[in-house]
A and B are shown apart, each in its own frame.
Chain A
Amino acid sequence: MALDLEQVRQILQRIRQGDIDAYAELVVAYQSDVWKVAAAIPGGMREIEELVQQTFVQAYQQLETFDSRRDFGPWIKEIARNQTRMELRRAMRESSRLNRYYEEWMRDLNAEESGNTEALEEALRTCRQELSEHLDQIVAQRYEQALSFEDIARQIGRSVAATRQLISRARVALRDCVARKGGFA
């Protein structure tokens, strides 16, 4: 739940007066926006949570540069994007295996910056409803609950390879559907 300019201004005022706890209100209000950006990094929930925390700590250190006449949301998201880019670069340095993947993701982060992801999100939402219930459930387990392939395989009683195949099939089906609906425009 985003805060309005006045609420943010008051919180900043309290922080300047030494009430560090007030910053928690900003963290609670804007962390879902940051989560959304940080979800791009490799790794699981723990890594994402660390990056979210890191983003807010970084933002705290730069609070003096924040123009309180502007919305706090885009500002914190920009910091999150920078942190995420750094994390992706670090991952690319560590392993070249996923370089191509991360490069594209970096492009996607930049695209998000210019604000053209809404069409994709909308198309994706619609297309998920067109998946079979079984596939949609597996997609939810993989992406909403962040389960590993092994955990999903255990839950649905299939082999890990078969589970990967199902997720791959779901992704391809979603890609074709989103393309049909113009979500990549």
Chain B
Amino acid sequence: MSNAVDGLLTDAERLELERLLDADPEALEKWRQLIRIEAGLRSARVRFPFAVTVPQAIRAEHERRVAQGVLQQIRSLPDTSVSRSSSWLALCEHWFRPIRRRTVWATGFVAIAILSTLIWLGSDNHPRDLAVEQARNLEVRRGWWWRSVKAGEQLSSRWSLRTGPLGSARLQILSDSTTVVLEEQTKADFIENSLAKQWSIKQGRIQVHAAHQVPGHPIVVRTPHGHAEVVGTTFSLSARPTTSWLRVDDGAVQWSSLGDNRSLLVPAGQFVAAGHGPIGLLMAADPEMLRIPFTLDLQRSFQDGDGAWNTDGSALVQTKVSHVPMTNAIWGTPASPGSAYVIEARTPESIEIRCDVEVQRTIHDEVARWIWPQNFGLRFYLGRYDFQLNAEGGGVAATALLKFGGGSPKASDSPVVIHGQTHSSLPAAGVGLHHFRLQLWRQPDGHCRALGKVWTGSGEPNEWQINAEFNRSESLTQVGMQTVSCAARFSQFQTFLIESLQ
């Protein structure tokens, strides 16, 4: 019975329980009592979603937040006037009572759409909450349409704003002179009412230079990953697909992450990033660049063929792990387990891979090198980019090539060199431990930069041996690596999303 309360029964167990309840009045009575206990416990949740020990201020903040959500929904109703909405409903009910419910709903929907349009057409007299000081490629949505906005205009808080490519806008909240800068390709909503001033950033980046706020009436800036509550400070907040970044320049900001429900007071000079799932809340050590580690579970689905695998995070989801058979590449020399795998990741746009590769055996003397002319190499698959670091054995020479292949990587692929660089500074590769670093940066406009280095021993070289720029508009959807023409074992394999505030 207890399992049934928690919804943990199988269908067969459920049927058995139902038979018991139908046949045994005593069992039925006990069941009902158990349900009432569960209901009593759930509804006695201190009448609130917090433990009793939660300070009154946080509880009050939550009450305000719920109220604010209600107001927001009410404002989005086709007509927020109580008397008008009820009379409209009454009229509709009178007209459409004999008609089937589905028809009434459909008609009602059309009526709401028409009403919304009428309200929109006549809604130019709302109080103005924002002054546009500077605007470049700024648009505002009123009703269903976007229109461009010029400097000097004043806007109502109920409207949505967006900046296009190379766009930016500087806005002033009229009630307290706080300045907000929307950077390019930013989408944001602003709502101001008696409870709070709230910015919701759907994408892009804003900078806030907040005036001192009245206690209990703060500016709240929300992103899909958390929210920052502002007392009076200067900061910037970026909403990205996987994370949101906060940089505090002056004062302090309380930053709450939705990913792990943690809250952090971020002082001036600090950076913090928040995301869903495993990212949680990270302080960024480097103000220029944040490395967000994501772990690859190589024990799972690491079989010949494809396997499904998902991490907990919504952003860093690996959807496929494939084992690439190596027999072709190494011409009969068996590769160690783990010497090749392809992980498809959904969203990483800029990524860093660090790994050590222990070369167990090179086959320079054993095979005709018809696949790759180098006798040791490491290939990273980044979407359709085949980024290949090769180091020739025998202490003769070393090359590093950036290549672009197509389709799924297979050992028999013949990569096409689109852009390549040759370096003589790479260490010769032979049996032993080699360290690899690869970064691939991709800007929204498709501009990419690939950085790579390989070394042996303990001293990591400062310079990137590969430093190539190129343009590709396709998203990066795949991360993978495989050894070429050798038997090797990967270790210390680490993958990071990299994000920059720049």
Instruction: Identify whether the interface residues of A are mostly helix, strand, loop, or mixed.
Output: helix
Interface flags, B1-17, vs A, CB<8A=1, else 0: 01111111101001001
Choose one: A48, A53, A65, A179; the contact of B49 (CB below 8 Å).
A48
Residues of A within 8 A of B (CB-CB), count: 63
Q: Which single member of B6, B8, B74 contacts A20 (CB below 8 Å)?
A: B74
Q: How far is the CB of A31 from chain B (nearest CB, A)?
A: 6
Q: Is the CB of B7 within 8 A of A101?
A: yes
Q: Which of B48-69 contact A (CB under 8 A)?
A: 48-52, 63-64, 66-69
Nearest-neighbor residue (CB-CB) of A117 within chain B? B40
A124–B270 alpha-carbon span in the complex (Å): 48
Restricting to B30-55, which residues have a CB under 8 Å from any CB of A?
A: 30-52
Q: In terms of DSSP, what is the predominant structure of the interface of chain B?
A: helix
Contact A35–B2 (Cβ < 8 Å)? no
Whether a CB of chain A sits under 8 angstroms from the CB of B194 is yes
> How near does chain B come to A145, taking the closest CB pair, in angstroms?
5
Q: Find out whether the CB atom of A31 lies under 8 angstroms from the CB atom of B89.
A: no
Q: Using known A-B contacts A18-B81, A63-B82, A168-B2, determine if residue A53 contacts B43 with beta carbons closer than 8 Å.
A: no
* B86–A64 CB distance below 8 A: yes
Interface centre among A15, A48, A100, A139 (most CB of B within 10 A): A100
Given known pairs A23-B71, A60-B82, A100-B18, the reply for A105 and B39 (CB within 8 Å) is: yes
Q: Once the chains are docked, how many angstroms separate the CA of A121 from the CA of B39?
A: 10
Contact A37–B43 (Cβ < 8 Å) = yes
Q: A8 at the A/B interface (Cβ < 8 Å)?
A: no
Pairwise interchain contact A139-B41, C-beta atoms closer than 8 A: yes
Do B36 and A120 have beta carbons less than 8 Å apart? yes
Residues 57-80 of A contacting B (Cβ, < 8 Å): 57, 60-65
CA separation between A35 and B89, bound complex, in Å? 28
* Contact yes or no, B51 A35, CB < 8 A: no
* Residue B75 is within 8 A (CB to CB) of chain A in the complex: yes
A24 touches B193 (CB 8 A): yes
* A163 → B minimal CB distance (Å): 11
> Quick one: given A28-B64, A61-B77, A178-B37, are A97 and B30 in contact (CB under 8 Å)?
no
Q: Which residue of B lies closest to A140 (CB)?
A: B51
A65-B86, A97-B7, A98-B7 are known contacts; what are 9 more A-B pairs with Cβ within 8 Å?
A27-B70, A27-B71, A31-B67, A35-B49, A36-B45, A40-B42, A53-B66, A97-B11, A175-B33
Q: Could you name 8 residue pairs across A and B whose Cβ atoms are closer than 8 Å?
A: A23-B74, A28-B64, A49-B66, A53-B66, A97-B14, A104-B35, A124-B40, A179-B33
